[in-house]
Structure formats: structure tokens, C-alpha cells
């Protein structure tokens, strides 16, 4: 039961909280055959960091198509992120402090055979119920809306 739509400021705060604290995210890619996979994430305040096997459909699709849609939360409290691949590296080439931060958050350490993918959000939307559909867009062109 909804108590009315949240303000944009509250939605932005809630979306940032999910990016900062959620451990897992659904990742949808579609270059080639569409694919949906749950992955662990880290957020450095600008980029979403994902790690997965370099031969997985998610990695292949991201490397060939360059974009993904991420979903955090539940269907009744979702943050949807359209993101573009900014860079990628084999896990063994990623600086140790970056991997350690990821391990603390995700509970596992990417290693040989894994690729680390940095995605830049370009559009973020958040809503809980139908009354939050208007005004659901919180970021456009990589910039948070006021």
C-alpha cells in the first residue's frame, strides 16, 4: 500500500543508497543473444564495477555491445540503470585495492579467467508503485536531476 509518491530528492537518496549498499544486481545485456544474469556489484560513486568470467554471455555481450541495463531492488521498489561500458580489464590486472573493496562488498575475489567491467550510468529511474511512474527518471546523460 502506497503512502504517496516520494519526492525526487528522496528517490535520489534511496537510489544512491541501493548503489552504495546492495550487493547483487540483475544485469541485462543484448548484443547478440539477450541475456539476464545476477552479479555482485561495487559502486565508487560514479561507476558500477562488475566481475564475471571472461567467457560468460554477460561479458561477451558487454564487450561487443557496450551497454547494459541493471536492476536493483524488487519489482515494487526498483532502481533501473541504463549504463555503458567504460572500461574492462582481466581481474589479475586490476589494482589490489579495487579488488579488495569489491571482495569486502561482494564476498568473493575475482581472479584468473574473470574480467572486471566498469559501467557508467547514463540514465537512472526509480519507482515503487504506479503513483511513482511520473517523475521516475532521476538521471539523464549521466547527471543526477535536481
Q: How confident is the model at residue 7 (pLDDT cuts 50, 70, 90)?
A: very high
CATH entry, 8-127, from 2.40.10.480, 2.40.160.10, 3.10.20.440, 2.30.110.10? 2.30.110.10
DSSP H helical segments within 6-138, as ranges?
Answer: 8-21, 57-65, 96-106
pTM of the model: 0.93
pLDDT over 80 at 5, yes or no: yes
pLDDT in the model for residue 98: 96
Q: Where are the domains of the chain?
A: 8-127
C-alpha cell at 42: 561495487
Residues in the chain: 146
User: Are the C-beta atoms of residues 60 and 38 closer than 8 Å to each other?
Assistant: no
| Interval 9-36: pLDDT, tens | 999 999 999 999 999 999 999 976 789 9
pLDDT in the model for residue 2: 60
pLDDT in the model for residue 1: 54
pLDDT in the model for residue 4: 87
pLDDT in the model for residue 128: 93
The mean pLDDT of 115-130, rounded to a whole number, is: 96
| Interval 70-113: pLDDT, tens | 999 999 999 999 999 999 999 999 999 999 999 999 999 999 99
| Interval 55-70: pLDDT, tens | 999 999 999 999 999 9
Q: Is 19 helix (H, G, I), strand (E, B) or coil?
A: helix
The secondary element (H helix, E strand) that includes residue 35 is: strand 35-43
Dihedral of the CA atoms 12, 17, 19, 22 (nearest 10)? Answer: -140
Amino acid at each position: 500500500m502506497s503512502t504517496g509518491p516520494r519526492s525526487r530528492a528522496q528517490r535520489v537518496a534511496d537510489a544512491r543508497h541501493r548503489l552504495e549498499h546492495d550487493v547483487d544486481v540483475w544485469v541485462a545485456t543484448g548484443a547478440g543473444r539477450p541475456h539476464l544474469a545476477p552479479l555482485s556489484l561495487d559502486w565508487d560513486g560514479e561507476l558500477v564495477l562488475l566481475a564475471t568470467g571472461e567467457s560468460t554471455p554477460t561479458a561477451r555481450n558487454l564487450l561487443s555491445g557496450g551497454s547494459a541495463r541493471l536492476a536493483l531492488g524488487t519489482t515494487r521498489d526498483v532502481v533501473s540503470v541504463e549504463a555503458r561500458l567504460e572500461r574492462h580489464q582481466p581481474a589479475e590486472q586490476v589494482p589490489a585495492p579495487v579488488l579488495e573493496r569489491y571482495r569486502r562488498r561482494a564476498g568473493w575475489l575475482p581472479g584468473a579467467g574473470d574480467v572486471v567491467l566498469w559501467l557508467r550510468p547514463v540514465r537512472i529511474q526509480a519507482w515503487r508503485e504506479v503513483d511513482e511512474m511520473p517523475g521516475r527518471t532521476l538521471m539523464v546523460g549521466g547527471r543526477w536531476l535536481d
